[in-house]
Structure 1
Amino acid sequence: MNAGMVEKGRAAWPDFIRKEFDANQFNGRVGTQLLSETERVRVWEIRLAPGERIGFHRHVLDYFWTAVTPGRARSHAEDGTIVEAIYSAGETRHFVYGKGEYKIHDLENVGEADLWFTTVEFLDSSNKALELDR
């Protein structure tokens, strides 16, 4: 992932982004579609056409994502940063959260082709899984 910080501070966010952040701070849907869930894992897909975005969601579980396709994305993070990143097909990143730790962000496809990720969350993490609206 080739990332560069664009701006810092939620005040720089558009109004609709700030309002969505406030409304979705405890959203546990970390993908666009839940593909599978067992007692051990949740497997998610994120597929975004150019210009589409997945709204704010909270990561509390250990997880990894793999970019299925290459592409470019923009993300707003809880601390107010706006980051743009370039992803390569097959690129994978792992994340671990200690008790009480989390990350809140959104993801927008700012590239010219579909952006596709697979994300796997581990339910036996330090934090309890967030409830999902089914």
Structure 2
Amino acid sequence: MEHITSTPTVKAPAERFTGDVCLNLIEAPAEPARLAVGLVRFTPGARTNWHSHVNGQILYITDGVGLVGTRDGNVVRAGAGETFKCPAGEEHWHGATDTNLMAHIAIVVGDDSGDGTTWLEPVTDEQYVAALATVEG
């Protein structure tokens, strides 16, 4: 058994996120499992860029209210205690609503290159506002 007492909180990289996002890495991908786990905290309006995962992703919402959206326009409201499974290769994004913070535990199984995430362009303000309208309407 290995007891890890804490990991430092770091600011998530601006080239992958819009707004203020903080990350605590829980597990880095390593042989043989290649499991990557992180606690990610989004301030109101903050969100990921569009991205996909070679082996999919599981998001467990720990606090607040957020959104999870896919390229086909499907957007769901995400609340504490809910779990979302994004299939392998599906381009998606996630983040806080405009009025609430949101925190989640992100779980991925990587590949030989690392965590298996392909980062794409930012979610535009127009896309984000349309997503908010979808879940509020």
Residue 67 of structure 2 is aligned to residue 73 of structure 1: yes
Structure 1: where are the runs of 5+ without partners? Answer: 1-23, 25-30
TM-score normalised by length of structure 1: 0.54
Distance 2:117 2:63 in 1: 29
The one-letter code matched in structure 1 to 2:116 is L
Identity %: 19
> Which of the numbers 110, 116, 131 marks the counterpart of 1:130?
116
Going from structure 1 to structure 2, the CA distance change for 1:62 and 1:55 (only over 3 Å counts) comes to: closer
RMSD: 3.3
Going from structure 1 to structure 2, the CA distance change for 1:82 and 1:95 (only over 3 Å counts) comes to: closer
Structure 2: where are the runs of 5+ without partners? Answer: 1-15, 120-137
Query: 1:47-126 maps to which residues of 2 (within 5 A)?
Result: 47-73=41-67, 75=69, 77-79=70-72, 81=73, 83=75, 85-97=76-88, 102-123=89-110
TM-score normalised by length of structure 2: 0.53
Going from structure 1 to structure 2, the CA distance change for 1:129 and 1:114 (only over 3 Å counts) comes to: closer
For these two proteins, the number of residue pairs brought into alignment is 95
Instruction: Report 1 or 2 for greater relative contact order, CA contacts < 8 Å, sequence distance ≥ 6.
Output: 1
**Alpha-carbon contact 1:50-1:110 (below 8 Å) kept:** yes
